[in-house]
A = this chain, B = another copy of it.
Amino acid sequence: MVGKTAGGSAKPLLRALQGETLERPPWWLMRQAGRYLPEYRELRAKAGDFITLCLTPELAAEVTLQPIRRFGMDAAILFSDILLVPRALGQSLSFESEGPKLQPLSETAGIGELNTGDIGALLAPVGDAVRRVRAGLPDETALIGFAGAPWTVATYMVEGGTSRDFHRVKAWAYRDPAGFTALIDMIASATLDFLSLQIGAGVEVVQLFDSWAGALSPDGFDRWVIAPTKQLVEALKERFPQVPVIGFPRGGGLLAERYVTETGVDAVGLDTAMPAGFARDRLQAHAAVQGNLDPVLLLAGGAEMRRAVAEMRRTLGQGPYVFNLGHGVLPETPPEHVAELARMLAEPVRAG
């Protein structure tokens, strides 16, 4: 973890990620910019497809800022997509109603058909979007950049989209570990370039989304989640020692502790299933923790939501903590529930 910045002037998110326990923990929400907001749906309808939205700087910046204006989270997260990296590597990509669709990479062809062109040039509009967001953010609001972790990006590249059982990508990894490592390394290198571009343009924190970490066996988790994340974090720290890294190994369960102690992340995102007591007792001594309200509780709202939020803050708020969901905001979420959450989170944590 990098040293604490001097004084109380640092942004609350950065202070928490640097290990400080705050009376009022900072908050933001995964997918806080998106379909649950009418102003997003309006802009999306004008932009046409999702990729255009991501790669048109003024639109991506506007969408990023929308939830900040409404709810005043402590951080904006750049509106972008983890699949821009495979697209920059030369895979065709489209977003259908059932999810993203890529031309699957085949085990026999391997990575030969991919290009290792200049990621910085290909994804330059993302840098422009970052600069526009920074110019539009309040002083106390941090800006988070992100990328998919290599394993999760590999699942999309090999399966051609989301998957129920991940048998194509896992069978490749089992049958040809050397060839699969070459793919992982290639993704990691492009990801390092992508995150460097974002940081160079002004993001202050990066999050690595390993959304499908939970699909692996424990051995696979070691090889394809922990090892490449550790390498990527080391490379990032060498270039940008001051930028905190949040890792989100979704479904990591019992292996979250090793993830935290071995990868060198500054903070760990907790998924919905993670017991707060375990996070407090076993993870928070090693890293800040971030999470993990069930997104369905934000959708449902009411007394159950309020009770869960209060309890989560009591359990995790005694150490370095960032309030968030355990997964992304659901499109069906009423914005008024987010407004109510924002009001609750503006208060200091009350002890049990």
Question: Chain A 234-248, CB within 8 Å of chain B: the 1/0 string?
Answer: 000000000000000
Q: Are A330 and B214 in contact (CB under 8 A)?
A: no
Does A6 count as interface, using CB distance less than 8 angstroms? no
> A132 an interface residue at 8 Å Cβ cutoff?
no
In the complex formed, the residue of B with least CB distance to A332 is B167
Report yes or no: B273 in contact with A214, Cβ–Cβ below 8 A: yes
Taking chain A's interface residues, is the majority helix, strand, or loop, or is none over half, making it mixed? helix
For A305, list chain B residues within 8 Å (CB). 174
Contacting B at CB under 8 A, from A254-310, are 254-255, 272-276, 278, 294-297, 299-300, 302, 304-305, 308
Contacts of A218 on B, CB cut-off 8 Å? 273-276
Number of copies: 2
A312 vs chain B, min Cβ distance (A):
10
Contact residues in B for A215 (Cβ distance below 8 Å): 272-273
Bound together, the chains give a CA A272 to CA B212 distance in angstroms of 13
- Residues of chain B within 8 A (CB-CB) of A251 are 214, 251, 253, 273
Cβ of A327 within 8 Å of any chain B Cβ, yes or no, is yes
Q: Which residue of B lies closest to A218 (CB)?
A: B275
Min CB distance, A87 to chain B, in Å?
23
A327 and B215 alpha carbons, distance in the complex (Å): 11
Q: Bound state CA distance, A167 and B36, in angstroms?
A: 14
CA distance A282 to B235 in the complex (A): 37
Q: Are A300 and B174 in contact (CB under 8 A)?
A: yes
- Given contacts A167-B299, A175-B304, A296-B171, A254 and B272 within 8 Å (CB-CB): no
Give the shortest distance, in Å, between A222 (CB) and chain B (any CB): 10
Chain B residues contacting A114 (CB-CB under 8 Å) are: none
Contact status A165-B217, CB under 8 Å: no
Given A165-B327, A296-B166, check contact A174 B304 (CB 8 Å): yes
A274 to B294, CA, bound (A): 22
Contact yes or no, B174 A217, CB < 8 A: no
Pair B171/A299 contact, Cβ less than 8 Å = yes
Q: In the bound complex, how far is the Cα of B330 from the Cα of A251, in angstroms?
A: 21
Q: Is A219 an interface residue (CB 8 A)?
A: yes
Residues of B within 8 A of A275 (CB): 218, 254-255
Interface centre among A165, A216, A326 (most CB of B within 10 A): A165
- A170 at the B interface (CB under 8 A): yes
Contacts of A300 in B (CB 8 A): 170-171, 174-175
Residues from chain B with a CB closer than 8 A to the CB of A255 are: 273, 275
A67-81 interface code vs B (CB 8 A; 1 in, 0 out): 000000000000000
Within the complex, the shortest CB–CB distance from A108 to chain B, in Å, comes to: 15
> Does A220 interact with chain B (Cβ within 8 Å)?
yes
Contact A167 B217 (CB under 8 A): no
In the assembled complex, how far is the CB of residue A203 from the closest CB belonging to chain B, in whole angstroms?
28
Contact B294 A220 (CB under 8 A): yes
4 A-B pairs with least C-beta separation: A253-B253, A170-B296, A174-B300, A218-B275
* Cross-chain pairs A/B with CB under 8 angstroms, 5 sampled: A165-B330, A174-B297, A174-B300, A217-B308, A254-B254
